[in-house]
Amino acid sequence: MKPVAESPVPALVLDQVPPWVRALVAQVTALAIVVLIAKSSVAFGGAGVGPIPLCAAQALLAASIGWALRLAPWWAVIQLGFAPTVVLATAAHLPPGLFLVAFLVLAGFYWSTYRTQVPLYPSSPAVWEAVGRLLPRQQPIRFVDVGSGMGGLVLNLAATRADSIVLGVELAPLPWLASVLRVRWSRSAARFRRIDYRRLNLGDYDVVFAFLSPAAMPALWRKAQQEMMPGSLFLSLVFPVPDAPPDIAVDVPGLRGGTLRGWRMRSTAEG
């Protein structure tokens, strides 16, 4: 089979630059090239290029530059769609306030996704049940969901494990606010804090659950190994820990399921 073409730009340099910066560079460079070509065509007495070919050229160029800058393949969808969306939205003469509202709502939900590379994507009741089945039953536990999103898992576990402390920590303001309101409405014992999980001491918890992204796993696993107590349990939905085979792997049914993996933390002496 023919191997997929590799970007010519060295990986070591580019992988230090956050993806959103590379995406922005691709968009701005493609726009500059297209504007330059359009202006030159008029300056040299040409008929000028229409908005649709210009828009298509910008989109294709941005996607190609994004590829050369080693962006993940799914970024191509955003790179291709950005200029056409701007042109269509401008042509529709939408009220400017609508863009501000859309921006604020999206920022409230996706707050630091550009930096953490972890989007909001709630887990399902099938996942909550699978997590509940893996929790130690003999004694009360301290549980934390790092990146608790809309709070569904934490609220469910707080209801089914009334003996235990169940905490969700979330960076994005709107999902955190929704979780806090859900606690008020349901009179739940669940707790939510709006902080970066990197500021938590994971050693304070018997079970740490994560449903994040491949980008977040290596650093979170290092933190878990440094801080979590021997015998405690680290759970990850969907995303494996590179080079660390799990002690537990449960297939969760349903579209939003995937595999729930668990690692029993060992003392450094155990390896």
User: Which residues contribute to the site for ligand SAM (CB under 6 A)?
Assistant: 116, 118, 120-123, 145, 147-149, 152-153, 169-172, 175, 196-198, 211-212
**In whole angstroms, how close is the CB of 64 to ligand SAM at the nearest point?**
30
Q: Where on the phi/psi map is residue 148: left (φ > 0), alpha (ψ -120 to 50), or beta?
A: alpha
Return the bridge partners of 235, or none.
209, 262
Distance CA 254, CA 265 (A): 28
Length of the chain: 271
99 versus 121: smaller Cβ distance to ligand SAM: 121
66 versus 149: smaller Cβ distance to ligand SAM: 149
In Å, how far are 93, 104, 190 from 97, measured between CA atoms?
A: 11, 11, 36
| Residue 146 contacts residue 200 (beta carbons within 8 Å) | yes
69 versus 217: smaller Cβ distance to ligand SAM: 217
**In whole angstroms, how close is the CB of 117 to ligand SAM at the nearest point?**
8
**In whole angstroms, how close is the CB of 143 to ligand SAM at the nearest point?**
12
193 versus 264: smaller Cβ distance to ligand SAM: 193
Q: Which residue is nearest to ligand SAM (CB)?
A: 147
19 versus 175: smaller Cβ distance to ligand SAM: 175
Q: H-type helices in 69-151, by residue range?
A: 75-91, 96-110, 113-116, 125-134
**In whole angstroms, how close is the CB of 137 to ligand SAM at the nearest point?**
21
